[in-house]
Copies of this chain bind each other. A is one copy, B any other.
């Protein structure tokens, strides 16, 4: 709530946390820079506007923490960049900073090795605290994210197989069983079979409600 100085004295040797900002929105990068550089103990060493650039700069500059967006323009390589950066043993911690909070996004990011997951509507103090936690190696989750995680763990049924997800995606695009069977070189019976399994797993009983459920849970995008 109230502002208070950290326990450590400031004048020792300035152990600033070195940051890399990765986001495709210039405005967001400027905002993060503004918010974080006013806080003591942070130094933004570089900005990346694409996932590829983030991976490259993370390797070259070896920052302490990478603040990473999950949505980069059209392609969603944010999670992949996270994985590549986080896989380096002594490498930077990766803090995900995104607008959305779908279950699968969160899970994927954590599986990719992210140290924390923040939402962009987080207040500056929360942001700064999370970065400090990440720099120290501690996990940092936004409250909204944390509650989603436990809810997700409680009913981990909704794990569709790769094929099922593929079928459901085509359903979401509006294709009929007929069209899906042709596109995937299957019989309609198989498509129906997949759909029946999907319905059971999602607890629904129609293609449209399956799409609705999967979309709200972030299993399929768009």
Contacts and interface: CB of A to CB of B under 8 A. Distances in A.
Interface in A197-222: 204, 206-213, 215-216, 222
B120 A28 contact: yes
A202 B160 CA distance: 31
B211 A174 contact: yes
A56 to B, nearest CB: 20
Interface stretch (A30-38, A104-112, A132-140, A184-192): A30-38
B121 A212 contact: no
Interface stretch (A6-14, A19-27, A58-66, A79-87): A19-27
Contacts of A212: 172-174
Interface of A, helix, strand, loop or mixed by DSSP? helix
A175 interface: yes
A123 interface: yes
Given A26-B35, A28-B27, A31-B29, A171 B208 contact: yes
Interface in A31-86: 31-35, 73
A35 B28 contact: no
A26 B174 contact: no
B209 A73 contact: no
A191 to B, nearest CB: 13
- Which interface residue of A28, A31, A127, A216 has the most chain B CB atoms within 10 A? A31
A28 B121 CA distance: 9
A146 interface: no
Contacts of A121: 24-26, 73
A176 interface: yes
A161 interface: no
B208 A26 contact: no
Contact of A26 (B27, B33, B123): B123
A99 interface: yes
Contacts of A159: none
A121 B212 CA distance: 29
Contacts of A172: 208, 212
* Closest 10 pairs between A and B when the two form their complex, measured CB to CB: A174-B209, A31-B31, A174-B212, A27-B31, A30-B31, A30-B34, A34-B34, A174-B208, A25-B121, A30-B35
